[in-house]
Amino acid sequence: MRKKTKSAPDKFWSGKVTRESNALDLEPGVFTWTNPQKIALSLKRSAEASHRRKAPPFRSAMSMLVFYINRAGKNLDKKQLRVLEQAKKELRALYGKKRHN
């Protein structure tokens, strides 16, 4: 008897985390938007409104953004990757954080 393979939507746990994060209630499609500032503001609102997060709002928002970038990996369009990298800078600016080298 053959094992049933998982269907595409259930195949990757990382997609489920992005869609159904228990820590943040993300706006639908937030990582597909083309405006970095809009993405950063949405993540900030989600992180600050969440009562389930375990880390401070900035860290929770940045973690979700970095998680998405890392999990989307080679399948992420180069243009969208630039938008998301810019969203990281926007998020740092919103929280008054400087990147350490």
Would you list the domain boundaries of the chain?
A: 37-96
> What's the pLDDT at 78?
93
Q: What mean pLDDT is predicted for residues 25-46? A: 95
For the chain, report the end-to-end CA distance as a whole number of angstroms: 55
Buried b / exposed e over 38-61, threshold 16 CB at 10 Å, is: ebbebbbbbbeebeebeeebbebb
> Which pTM value belongs to this model?
0.76
Q: Report which of residues 45 and 72 the model is more confident about.
A: 45
Residues 54-66 have pLDDT tens digits of 889 999 999 999 9
> What's the pLDDT at 28?
92
Kindly state the percentage of the chain with pLDDT values over 90: 57
